[in-house]
Structure 1
């Protein structure tokens, strides 16, 4: 293999965070939408500290090189730069712009006298019930600062001049983080933190408050199931989930200006000396800005009501339509109803005997899961592969798995070292003594909540050859092999399944484009992914570029491929799109000398997707559906409003063009007019 260069995955993650900040900085983006992007930035950064910083810190401990050269310090430097931009944006643009709309967001400002009474009433009527005090200086207090919980560190001095440290919980997990108070034409937005701070004298009537500081501790979020393989998977996971919030501290976040003697006292008392000490803003967990308490149409993006995707007459069913031709739903542009109806019909159709489904992230009040439980109660054989290791959704998935099991659903789980990330469902019917399959294969989770803002594509098909292979996959998953890496002899010809043929098939598709380019025939590749990391596939794209294949990549987040490098990737262009909806669908288009082939599915090209997950991608055979997907891809590639182009220095540069195209809006208009 040639010697190729790659972007670092962690620095690329932070490059995507830079892209989110760019969106928040844009004056032409509605004001409340800019605040939403600040929220997403904060949420992503929290996840980075929970998931990736522990890895970088561990590597740093074994790294003999100069600290300034390693990824940990580069990441710290980039994060500090981004947080400075974040604070500058808030102070100099967002807050003043709100004030011009008579919205006073009291961000590190004194609370005006004329709203003191309302906020005091809120404190005593709503907040006080959830306040917990911890005298952490006392050895017997047993205090442990929980992961990502908000605290106020309060320095107190008694009448004898003795100083002590008290911690107060900020109960943002059960109460709104931000409150709105109206006074005439003026609106005031106040942090829960400040409502508490403003009433601290009530809690400490006999002591003098000498300092109040907002702090947060972020802890390692990784779960270790390898030591629990002999246990029941749900019991092992529940045990690990209890440990998650007890993981070692990766970041101690404090507000600016904490006196050093107080700062060191907090660090020592809470055993934080080995964590990254970060001076952030005055408030933490700004992902809570996603519930900013004011709604104003003129300060928000325009609404795009979801479009009816299928017209079904009273005398026919969805299953009738699927048997006639393949169908596709593009969410959130189109209504999710056909997906819900697929499971509702399966639960009650007299001819349905079996239903098999993979579930990765489940909605809190999932109608899909309720339909599956109804199907089991109706006497149908229902098998659900529940992925209990879906990060940060583990507890919710355990809850649903328990409920389904109690309803008669057969629950199967993946191996401790293997996630099942496929998004597929299979229905088996028997009509006139003949078995028939109906299937649903998607790029995103079977989750009606995320379907409102994730762009995904769902195929509904009766292609018996493809669905027979899906049955083979469910049979394989149901065997609960001790080592799922041992591949059975399953000859997938239609489905692309990780650990069987997915990587090999994509490599062969790229090879075919290389051969065509070398023969002087038309060639080209367009791929849309969330993340691109896996070096064998990237290297093959580099090889294709060197052969003259034009490659267009739309990669939302992590991208380890370096575009535009002479002799390596001069024929590869990488773009990112950040807009109203979260780009989530994975699409793969190969020119094939004019006989275009399109695939879609659940798999990014990350190491985890290729080597430690069961993923399913699949071809689109229906020519009408195929052409529609190509049209959507082309619109995204032409985006000159929300797209940026990644250069060889990992910088995000806006795409320019004479024609102004916002691809998500163009796709909505296209589907609405179809």
Structure 2
């Protein structure tokens, strides 16, 4: 840690691992319902998989080309090899902590009479059950591979679990053989509930253990009598290289990249530490893995991400509160009528996502609507948004969809959406070279009395009705002519990007990336610095997913040294050193990990008592500020502005699920004001719900406590 302190910023990847430790803390928290603790272990595991697929893979590439001075290399300030070594040490520590937490959870499960059993601990009825299950469901879905007889080692899929099997005879009369079985969890799921002796007991077995039990049947042909099997998985480089071949289209490049991703270079090999040593050496040789190639010995169970879907067999149930309708939209038959009259801010997941879909549905059938334009980054698998757009085309509207084909891990799904939309007559835009489209915006054009009016929305989150139930985001439904004029300018740029960025630079209300946001943020921070030096109130409250841009961090350091009061709510990556004796007012930096994934970006600048409040799709990262189209939107309605400030104040008061973001990455829980417990996600729900019922506000301390709520099942 002493070496860490020599740097101006915390290394991004080390900070990310610290964030994942906060996820692990939720799994360790005994106050969290047991099933949700298991899910947090699954979220932690899924996060780690993606970290290795993307970040570790990138660092390994950088290490291979460490002689070259790349911008990324300079940004890291230390060698990729050094960071890879630090990652290895931190991951091993976290894996040990993970195993301890899982062991404790297993004990708690048994107290609730929930047993995760192996193939060696089955009664006679259960043995017969899994034999039947294997014959009826599993056998036809597995293809054992005798890997020693295959000249070219079979391709091992990322995210799959494999059983490495050793076949032998006790008397030594036959040479040992190695085999490989892919566990078909994609098809059959991972968990099978077994018959139990009593009604109040639940016995669950993993699919790989059903296969283990039936190894003798699988390999009966060979005449062996002893079988050993150990689980392992391979994590591969998931980066898609987009080459500069002008003879191929972006779609062809992405399709090629997806094929290459499936065969990406292994960056991690996770295996049962009890694995037969000869089998391990054999697998390493055939996979061309060296000891340094992130070999991760572990326990018997791998691919813990599946545990996000652990069967709901526990007595203590979560009580997630259902989203409710925004009060301005309760008594109206048409969302559009309200939006044309005044701004409406939806706060997900507290407010229902349905008004967004309803507004698009209304536009699809409104004879006066001529045009709908919308950006889509990550969509739900059965997207109601897409259905409304298809319906709009069938009703004669001109529909344009900016579909970002390079949304990581959604590339394949977005290619399929593109084909469907184009088949229906939708105009699909597929992006700009070297720039991702990450803005969440919608423009609807309507003709009334020969006059065109614009309305739509600007959001911090994806247009995904599924994640809107678990992601904390803000969506402004508006017909403000200044905002919508800028939304129109952004779409003009997306459609005519070859003509340059003049459309983006012409924005007057919205602050777009990559042309303007960095400059405007520096100006607003500089204004607060000037106010502080003039002994006037100077404040900033900033909420985002990640803060890693070094230029803006330097500016925050300058502001803190000048006496600006800085409050930060950062869910994930946080590369700033928040503690420094030269800061006149200590920086308050927290992270909240709880029921919902805090996904919103909100920027509040004091501006000498006339607060400037913005919602944004952009984090303060180089990729967002300089290499993406993003939209940062001012909140002009005073009621909504006050509401957003109130929500962030509640989060800053959290002393249940907030952690301090300190220089040492200790993730200590924020325990100030112990006499009044403030769990911000519950308090925000009650604050907004109370306003919906009564049109009044309450202080957090006046809000009655409600029971614990079920945790999100998605990736953090």
| CA displacement 1:27-64 (0-9 Å, x = unmatched) | 11111111111010000000011001112223445669
| CA displacement 1:463-505 (0-9 Å, x = unmatched) | 01111111111011001428x6x55573222101012211111
Decide whether aligned partners of structure 1 residues 537 and 79 sit closer, same or farther in structure 2, where only a CA change above 3 A counts. same
- Whether the 8 Å CA contact 1:563–1:569 is kept in 2: the answer is no
Moved more, 357-366 or 317-326: 317-326
Following TM superposition, by how much is the alpha carbon of 1:401 offset from its aligned partner in structure 2, in angstroms?
A: 1.1
2:580 is matched with which residue: 552, 565, 580?
Answer: 565
Match of 2:121 in 1: 110
Mapped partners of 1:31, 1:489: distance in 2 = 49
Match of 2:89 in 1: 77
| CA displacement 1:612-643 (0-9 Å, x = unmatched) | 11010100000000100111000000000000
- Whether the 8 Å CA contact 1:389–1:419 is kept in 2: the answer is yes
Mapped partners of 1:110, 1:66: distance in 2 = 50
2:156 is matched with which residue: 145, 149, 155?
Answer: 145
- Whether the 8 Å CA contact 2:548–2:576 is kept in 1: the answer is yes
Following TM superposition, by how much is the alpha carbon of 1:105 offset from its aligned partner in structure 2, in angstroms?
A: 1.5
Decide whether aligned partners of structure 1 residues 315 and 284 sit closer, same or farther in structure 2, where only a CA change above 3 A counts. closer
Decide whether aligned partners of structure 1 residues 115 and 67 sit closer, same or farther in structure 2, where only a CA change above 3 A counts. farther
2:664 is matched with which residue: 649, 664, 671?
Answer: 649
- Whether the 8 Å CA contact 2:455–2:479 is kept in 1: the answer is yes
Following TM superposition, by how much is the alpha carbon of 1:288 offset from its aligned partner in structure 2, in angstroms?
A: 0.3
| CA displacement 1:288-312 (0-9 Å, x = unmatched) | 001101243x534322111121454
1:464-479 pair list within 5 angstroms: 464-479=481-496
Match of 2:522 in 1: 507
2:306 is matched with which residue: 255, 280, 288?
Answer: 288
Mapped partners of 1:4, 1:625: distance in 2 = 40
- Whether the 8 Å CA contact 2:161–2:233 is kept in 1: the answer is yes
Following TM superposition, by how much is the alpha carbon of 1:67 offset from its aligned partner in structure 2, in angstroms?
A: 9.5
Match of 1:172 in 2: 185
2:281 is matched with which residue: 247, 251, 264?
Answer: 264
Match of 2:71 in 1: none
| CA displacement 1:491-520 (0-9 Å, x = unmatched) | 222101012211111111111111111111
Following TM superposition, by how much is the alpha carbon of 1:259 offset from its aligned partner in structure 2, in angstroms?
A: 3.0
Match of 1:667 in 2: 684
1:242 is matched with which residue: 259, 263, 275?
Answer: 259
Following TM superposition, by how much is the alpha carbon of 1:243 offset from its aligned partner in structure 2, in angstroms?
A: 1.3
Decide whether aligned partners of structure 1 residues 148 and 272 sit closer, same or farther in structure 2, where only a CA change above 3 A counts. farther
Aligned length: 668
1:323 aligns with 2:335: no
Match of 1:389 in 2: 406
Mapped partners of 2:432, 2:403: distance in 1 = 11
1:613 is matched with which residue: 616, 628, 632?
Answer: 628
1:412-451 pair list within 5 angstroms: 412-451=429-468
- Whether the 8 Å CA contact 2:442–2:458 is kept in 1: the answer is yes
Moved more, 3-12 or 363-372: 3-12
Decide whether aligned partners of structure 1 residues 275 and 96 sit closer, same or farther in structure 2, where only a CA change above 3 A counts. same
Mapped partners of 1:487, 1:112: distance in 2 = 73
Q: What SS is found at the alignment partner of 1:18?
A: helix
Mapped partners of 2:564, 2:411: distance in 1 = 42
1:549 is matched with which residue: 556, 560, 564?
Answer: 564
Decide whether aligned partners of structure 1 residues 50 and 598 sit closer, same or farther in structure 2, where only a CA change above 3 A counts. same
Match of 2:73 in 1: none
Mapped partners of 1:412, 1:515: distance in 2 = 43
Mapped partners of 1:16, 1:609: distance in 2 = 20
Following TM superposition, by how much is the alpha carbon of 1:141 offset from its aligned partner in structure 2, in angstroms?
A: 5.8
| CA displacement 1:59-86 (0-9 Å, x = unmatched) | 4456699999811011000000000011
1:342-381 pair list within 5 angstroms: 342-381=359-398
- Whether the 8 Å CA contact 2:493–2:504 is kept in 1: the answer is no
1:533 aligns with 2:548: yes
- Whether the 8 Å CA contact 1:366–1:447 is kept in 2: the answer is yes
| CA displacement 1:275-334 (0-9 Å, x = unmatched) | 3211022111101001101243x5343221111214547775211111111001111111
Match of 1:401 in 2: 418
- Whether the 8 Å CA contact 1:427–1:439 is kept in 2: the answer is yes
Mapped partners of 1:56, 1:365: distance in 2 = 36
1:212 aligns with 2:229: yes
Mapped partners of 2:139, 2:435: distance in 1 = 45
Taking structure 2 as the reference length, the TM-score comes to: 0.90
What is the RMSD computed on CA atoms of the aligned residues? 2.1
Match of 1:586 in 2: 601
Following TM superposition, by how much is the alpha carbon of 1:160 offset from its aligned partner in structure 2, in angstroms?
A: 4.5
| CA displacement 1:123-164 (0-9 Å, x = unmatched) | 111111211211221234651111121110001136842122
Mapped partners of 2:110, 2:334: distance in 1 = 54
Match of 1:88 in 2: 100
Following TM superposition, by how much is the alpha carbon of 1:566 offset from its aligned partner in structure 2, in angstroms?
A: 2.2
- Whether the 8 Å CA contact 1:136–1:165 is kept in 2: the answer is yes
- Whether the 8 Å CA contact 2:38–2:308 is kept in 1: the answer is yes
1:131 is matched with which residue: 142, 146, 158?
Answer: 142
- Whether the 8 Å CA contact 1:178–1:190 is kept in 2: the answer is yes
- Whether the 8 Å CA contact 2:56–2:267 is kept in 1: the answer is yes
Q: What SS is found at the alignment partner of 1:217?
A: strand
- Whether the 8 Å CA contact 2:215–2:227 is kept in 1: the answer is no
1:186 aligns with 2:201: yes
1:485-496 pair list within 5 angstroms: 490-496=505-511
1:39 is matched with which residue: 23, 42, 47?
Answer: 42
Q: What SS is found at the alignment partner of 1:458?
A: strand
2:112 is matched with which residue: 62, 83, 101?
Answer: 101
Decide whether aligned partners of structure 1 residues 602 and 313 sit closer, same or farther in structure 2, where only a CA change above 3 A counts. closer
1:454 aligns with 2:463: no
Mapped partners of 2:330, 2:561: distance in 1 = 53
Mapped partners of 1:144, 1:138: distance in 2 = 15
Mapped partners of 1:79, 1:229: distance in 2 = 41
Mapped partners of 1:304, 1:77: distance in 2 = 40
- Whether the 8 Å CA contact 2:544–2:599 is kept in 1: the answer is yes
Moved more, 206-215 or 646-655: 206-215
